[in-house]
Amino acid sequence: MTQSLKDKLIILLLAALGAAFLVTFIAIEEQAEIFALLVFAGVLIIASAKLGLTDKISQSLSRNERLLNLSVIAAMLVVIFWFHEDHFPLLMIATVLLYVVACCGLNMQFGYTGVVNFAGAAFFGVGCYTAAVLGGTGTPLLLVIALGGVMAAIIGSILIIPVLRTRGHYAAVVTIAFGLLFRTFLEVNDTLGGPQGLPVSGMNLFGWDFNSNIQITENIEFSFYMNYVILALIMVILTFILMRRIERSWIGLNFDAVRLDETAAACYGINIKRWKILSFTLGNFLAGTAGALFAMMLGFIAPSNFAFSDSLILVSIVLLGGMGSIWGTILAAGLVVLLPEKLQVIQEYRFLLYAVVMILILLFRPQGVLPRNLRSYIPGWRG
């Protein structure tokens, strides 16, 4: 069997395994079973790492990017269609997908350019409230999503001057303050519903009602959440393409240079402000688009959804996955959103557990669970 055929088989096998794992994990309810499944997965991963399999596998993956991406999409579609009539699993999957989009935004800021943003939930929230306000006006769905992103980017520009002027801890404090202000603003603002929040009316895509179930045949009915999951998956794909293209371009190189050494970057003509503004704005845009769809999906939003702790969760997803690593963000978003939903033990001690995991990651694996690779500008090309 040739190497390339082997690579392809490995990818298909992994995608099938991943889909099967996700379906099982989401479907089972019994706590002991879930726990057993997780232990099984953990042992499998540790064993293959010990046997040196993970290195081989990751080489196979990086040689066949296209197939890998397509297989993962196919696996996701299998999982989604498996649960086509179950509201709750679909809602969970869509939530993971939208977190991926928002965290990719943060990753663009923090992972690529080194601009810290502890107000991720606020920018996500701007998108949510944009959708709520536009809800009754008959604005087309896709436009609402885009406007959610645009609003987040515009509101983010308030922060640009302090973020450009300050560095490190100070920039963190500035964004934390902004996040708190945002929430307080929502709570006292009656036109935006005050502390009770706002309902978000259902959306239409070209006359297609997003909030009613879809009758396929007499016996098959899709949950209305299918609409949102599919749209969220499309958003993830577009975000992934954008992140990848930026990373594999001169812009990505400029981002890295700004993050790693501003002085050297300046001595080689790199305009620090320009690239920080671009990455901050794009990142907030992504968070806003994710928020807009999220609000329409939930149908109701309140200021309590956008607390500082939610921003911390977004940041911890980026750190857990690995700075600048897109696959890392996808994996970490899955873990951080799904685990507490499935394991009640975690639900209660959620934040304690996050804190412990964060400290362990920063101490022992600062590059994250799926570290970012060196930039390869053109897949498969090495000079």
Partner 1 sequence: MEQQQETVLAFKGLTRRFGGVVALNEFDMELTNGQIVGLIGPNGSGKTTSFNVLTGIYEANGGSIEFLGQDITSWPAQKVYEAGVARTFQRSRLCLELSIFDNIMIGAHKRLNHGFMFNVFKRKALQQQIKENYEEARKLLTIFDPELADKMFEPVGSLRMIDRRRIEICRALISHPRLLLLDEPSAGMTHEETRELMDDILEVREMIDGLSIILVEHEMGMIERVTDKCIVLNFGQKICEGAYREVASNKLVQEAYLGGE
Q: List contacts with partner 1 (CB under 8 A).
A: 242, 245-246, 249-251, 253-254, 256-257, 260-261, 263-271, 278, 374-378, 381-383
CA gap 309, 286 in Å, rounded: 20
Q: What is the token pair recorded at 79? A: 């999982």
Q: What is the token pair recorded at 223? A: 């949950």
For residue 284, the minimal CB distance to partner 1 (Å) is: 16
In terms of Cα–Cα distance, which of 100, 129, 102 is closest to 117? 102
Name residues whose C-beta falls within 8 Å of residue 126's C-beta, 6 or more positions apart in sequence.
Answer: 148, 151, 152, 155, 182, 284, 288, 291
Which residues partner with 301 through β-bridges?
Answer: 198
SS3 (DSSP) at 215: strand
Q: Which is nearer to partner 1, 165 or 375 (CB)?
A: 375
For residue 366, the minimal CB distance to partner 1 (Å) is: 12
Which residues partner with 198 through β-bridges?
Answer: 301
For residue 380, the minimal CB distance to partner 1 (Å) is: 12
Q: Which is nearer to partner 1, 169 or 382 (CB)?
A: 382
Q: What is the token pair recorded at 371? A: 């570290």
Q: Which is nearer to partner 1, 237 or 353 (CB)?
A: 237
Place of tokens 């996955």: 321
Q: What is the token pair recorded at 376? A: 């390869």
For residue 175, the minimal CB distance to partner 1 (Å) is: 24
What is the pairing mode between strands 221-222 and 300-301? unpaired
Residues, the chain: 383
CA gap 267, 85 in Å, rounded: 58
- Alpha helix stretches (DSSP H) within the chain: 3-27, 31-50, 53-63, 65-82, 87-106, 120-134, 141-165, 168-188, 225-247, 250-260, 262-267, 272-298, 308-321, 326-342, 344-348, 350-364
Q: Which is nearer to partner 1, 56 or 244 (CB)?
A: 244
For residue 290, the minimal CB distance to partner 1 (Å) is: 20
Q: Which is nearer to partner 1, 109 or 227 (CB)?
A: 109
Q: Which is nearer to partner 1, 104 or 314 (CB)?
A: 104
Q: Which is nearer to partner 1, 172 or 251 (CB)?
A: 251
For residue 247, the minimal CB distance to partner 1 (Å) is: 10
For residue 256, the minimal CB distance to partner 1 (Å) is: 6
